[in-house]
Structure 1
Amino acid sequence: MAKLVTGSKELARKLAAIKDHVAAELRAELVKAGHVIADDARALAESSRRTGDLIESIHVTGPGETTPPHSTDGGQRTAGPFEVLVTAGDSDARHAHLVEGGTKPRMHRDGTTTGTMPAQPFFNPAWRLNRRRLEQRINRRMRKAFREATK
């Protein structure tokens, strides 16, 4: 049975302890979830392997860390305090979006055309395969952390 909290100082102390404990547990679970998605994206990207640069460019960026150059919209981004970013692409592999979505023929000014490449999605399927299960796992971890902190 939970102890009865009396007084505003004790309540503030207890709430701060809950916040800190739940935040630490949540960050750890988010990073684990990011690694699950990244591992599955790497496995799904195997079918498009030529040099391995694309597979090696799949990174997990934890809270407060910065993504590799050229991984998100051609730049870098710093993850928020409760955010984990899984990105594909870096300075050596800038073609993740072309593999994911494929290409269509395109006419250049000099009259030449680019070839077509069928889509070989790896990133979005990895997210869709894991999303529901990881959300449930994160929610369970938060509830458990909250229970532990309120004992």
Structure 2
Amino acid sequence: MADDSGLSRLQQRLAAIPQDVKEAVQPALEKQAEAMARTMKTLVPRETGALADSIAVTPGGESTPAYSQPGGSMVVPANAAAITVGNTDVRYGHLVEYGTAKAHAHPFFWPSVRLHGGQAKQAIKRAVGRAVRKNWGKGS
């Protein structure tokens, strides 16, 4: 029961965040996702360039490319940005990242996430802080 009340309190607090604050954070999310994607494109092995070209950033409210990893096409939730690899023509990003029995792994996705993760968290926290200060007392 304690978990349910804690969850409901969290949901109430999240629902109380003014829309202005939520909207102000989206550019920071997208900017950080773009930085990660650029690093991924730099690290990915290049034979034809198709894998690097398939790396995409999808902002909240939009659909990711069909056949992208992880999970194929999906609608990205609000206040989020998704970085995907792959499309209808490129379906082998996970094989490059993790390797196969016949090919060595060439990680490019997770090293980029680890490299940018801390900086992204700080940038998003700063954006939230600025938006809250700017919108303090305005109400929903």
For this structure pair, what is the TM-score category when the shorter chain's length is used for normalisation?
A: 0.7 to 0.9
Q: Percent identity?
A: 36
2:70, 2:84 within 8 Å by CA — same for their partners in 1? no
Shift in CA distance, 49/133, structure 1 to aligned 2, threshold 3 Å: same
Measured after TM superposition, the shift of residue 74 of structure 1 is 5.7
2:104 maps to which of 101, 118, 121 = 118
Following TM superposition, where does structure 1 have runs of at least 4 consecutive aligned residues deviating by more than 3 angstroms? Answer: none
Q: Deviations over 1:33-87 (max 9, x none)?
A: 1101111100111xx1111000000000100000111003563111001221100
Runs (5+) with no aligned partner, structure 1: 1-15, 105-115
Within 2, Cα distance between the matches of 1:74 and 1:135?
A: 24
Within 1, Cα distance between the matches of 2:72 and 2:116?
A: 27
Partner of 2:84: 87
Partner of 1:32: 31
Within 2, Cα distance between the matches of 1:89 and 1:123?
A: 12
SS at match of 1:60: strand
Within 2, Cα distance between the matches of 1:98 and 1:59?
A: 18
Larger Rg: 1
1:66 maps to which of 60, 63, 66 = 63
SS at match of 1:27: helix
1:49 maps to which of 26, 46, 51 = 46
TM-score normalized with structure 2 length: 0.82
Q: How many residues align?
A: 123
Equivalence map 1:111-150=2 (5 Å): 116-150=102-136
TM-score normalized with structure 1 length: 0.77
